[in-house]
């Protein structure tokens, strides 16, 4: 079903790409560590591969399926890591005011 020649194929590819973008936001809220983004991304896509293999009863062998998932894995990992690094590199506010009056 994945392919550029048909409308359902293009819509499926766009759905996979939008899913990668929303999962990158999920990495930001649930993982919060830039170094762990690639690990979690590969794990999620590996479980998706296993699910597709079990559901279809054969290993995915089409080139378009692999290309779409490689691109989605790269997008999810790169955007998730970028967002997590932005949070990690924020300045720590230092307040020099006393905390209590003695």
So what's the pLDDT on residue 101? 62
pTM of the prediction? 0.81
Domain range list for the chain: 33-88
Q: How confident is the model at residue 93 (pLDDT cuts 50, 70, 90)?
A: confident
DSSP output for the chain: ---SSSHHHHHHHHHHHHHHHHHHHHHHHHT--GGGHHHHHHHHHHHHHHHHHHHHTS----HHHHHHHHHHHHHHHHHHHHHHHHHHTSPPP---S-SS--
- Determine the Cα–Cα distance for residues 15 and 5; give it in Å rounded to an integer: 16
Percent of the chain residues past pLDDT 70, beyond the cut: 92
Average pLDDT for residues 71-86, to the nearest whole number?
94
Q: Given a cut of 90, is residue 98 above it in pLDDT?
A: no
Q: Given a cut of 70, is residue 48 above it in pLDDT?
A: yes
């Amino acid at each position: 079903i994945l392919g550029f020649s048909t409308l359902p194929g293009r819509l499926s590819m766009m759905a996979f790409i939008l899913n990668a973008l929303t999962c990158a936001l999920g990495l930001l809220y649930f993982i919060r560590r830039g170094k762990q983004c690639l690990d979690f991304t590969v794990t999620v896509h590996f479980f998706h591969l296993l699910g597709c293999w079990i559901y279809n009863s054969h290993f995915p062998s089409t080139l378009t399926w692999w290309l779409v998932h490689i691109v989605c894995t790269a997008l999810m990992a790169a955007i998730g890591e970028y967002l997590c690094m932005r949070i990690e590199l924020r300045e720590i506010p230092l307040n020099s005011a006393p905390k209590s009056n003695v």
